Structure 1
């Protein structure tokens, strides 16, 4: 009971700081060391075994989707799907950098995180839930029965962009050793806000999609602001739910690691204590 009260008092004491950190999308660094970000929870299994293939996949799919884009090349970055693809490219690239530095012994030994580790962590916090959102939003809303617009005429590329993307990020989530935290929820939400502001600016400037429509996605049509705001609000809530799901999976992963591994050092995740 005394321990519970101590935790409650600690939570109350840190609440203003945690609230500020959450709103500003700051990283919450607790017992984190650079080493955690360059290894897997399976000990000797190097993250290079999955981060390098993810990086190669992202380069190949970016090249493929650019070459076979259904509209003018300058419109490639109109779509959240392609923003998410570039996120996967950057996240895997920085993940490889962190891992290689760990293998070379050039990661610092103290608990302070260098800039490239922090960059990787932010990209990870954004990329994983955004990938899940893109997949579910695409198949449930944009490709629902009765929809006429085909955003990926090539069926294989369609699955790569809107299915395999989530599968690869799930592998990254399940195999990594570093934590995911609830307080980082604003990082993917601010990324989504940046894309939303981009759609507003594009609409105001008179931009059209490849088919000549005055919107990028029919469900985000600023000519119908009320309908669009409802969709945007529900999407933001769903993205927050994807982040919570990510944190839950990471916590379950670490629980399994503590049960399976004899060496429990570094398997600390305070995601739900903040």
Structure 2
């Protein structure tokens, strides 16, 4: 009965967009019992610094290994860590604004910067999971890159997801099933870039016509199947994120002794 009620409430056209009535849910931690923005502010400061550090370290170290800083931008992994850094930065900025300026008013809708953060959150968390799973399943060990920093490799393809999990399980704002298009949209945007890069004659650092061997547009049949599989995978991972958020809401509300539990967030 609860599941039916959840899906009935979740699958409403209004949930397709970025409208929400409770602005404090974007700067209060789900595990705190008070109304202070400081606990989440502190955590978000650490996550922001960590994600930005990963991007800077990757740019500084890996770009030299790739022989040109231009090659750094052709990889989905690097798009993903940039998205993570932007998400964590906006989260930190929202908490910082509340700390200095007071509660955010949402009578006439959420401010643009909260909506942008929400969109980035919806896109970056499942993509981070996909990058981690895809890399360690299909790519790790398949390439011999001289000078590759193993520690950086772990941070870029593993710790990236850990940081996004921390952002997810500490947040209080909802994660909607109908926001799957944010995640898929991110993937489509990279796909368009990948196709344009191929037909423009772009090469990888080793002179290959593909950025990833499984995305070889000179052999479009299997490549299209991979693209479809990744799209389905992103939708599944988005659903996993939603499920984690529901569990988070349930246990955090019990922790706060709040009996007004609603599965929709």
TM-score for both structures, normalised by structure 1: 0.85
Shift of 1:263: 4.1
- Find the counterpart in structure 1 of residue 264 from structure 2: 270
Aligned to 1:131, the other structure's residue is in SS state helix
User: Which residue in the other structure is 1:42 paired with?
Assistant: 31
**Conservation of the 8 A alpha-carbon contact between 1:209 and 1:216:** yes
Partners of 1:223 and 1:151 lie apart in 2 by: 27
- After TM superposition, give the deviation of residue 16 of structure 1 in Å: 7.7
Asked if residue 91 in structure 1 is aligned to residue 93 in structure 2, the reply is no
Aligned Cα root-mean-square deviation (Å): 2.6
1:206 to 196, 201, 207: 201
Distance 2:168 2:253 in 1: 16
Is the aligned partner of 1:74 residue 2:70?
Answer: yes
- Provide structure 1 residue ranges, at least 5 long, that are not aligned to the other structure: none
Measured against aligned partners, the alpha-carbon deviations of 1:200-242 in whole angstroms (never above 9, x if no partner) come to: 0000000001111101111111011011111111111111111
Aligned partner (choices 182, 186, 200) of residue 187 of structure 1: 182
Contact 1:203 1:214 in 2 (8 A): yes
Q: Which of 215, 223, 226 is residue 228 of structure 1 equivalent to?
A: 223
Measured in 2, the distance between the counterparts of 1:89 and 1:217 equals 23
Q: 1:174 aligns with which of 162, 169, 192?
A: 169
Deviations along 1:30-86, whole A, 9 cap, x unmatched?
5x4111000101224621222111211122222211112222101111011110111
Listed one character per residue, the Cα deviations across residues 238-272 of structure 1 (whole Å, up to 9, x for unaligned) are 1111100000000001010222212457x64416x
* Equivalenced residues, count: 257
Runs of 4 or more above 4 Å deviation: none
Q: Unaligned 5+ residue runs, structure 2?
A: none
Further displaced range: 194-203 or 61-70: 61-70
Return the match for 2:150 from 148, 155, 167.
155
3-state secondary structure, aligned to 2:208: coil
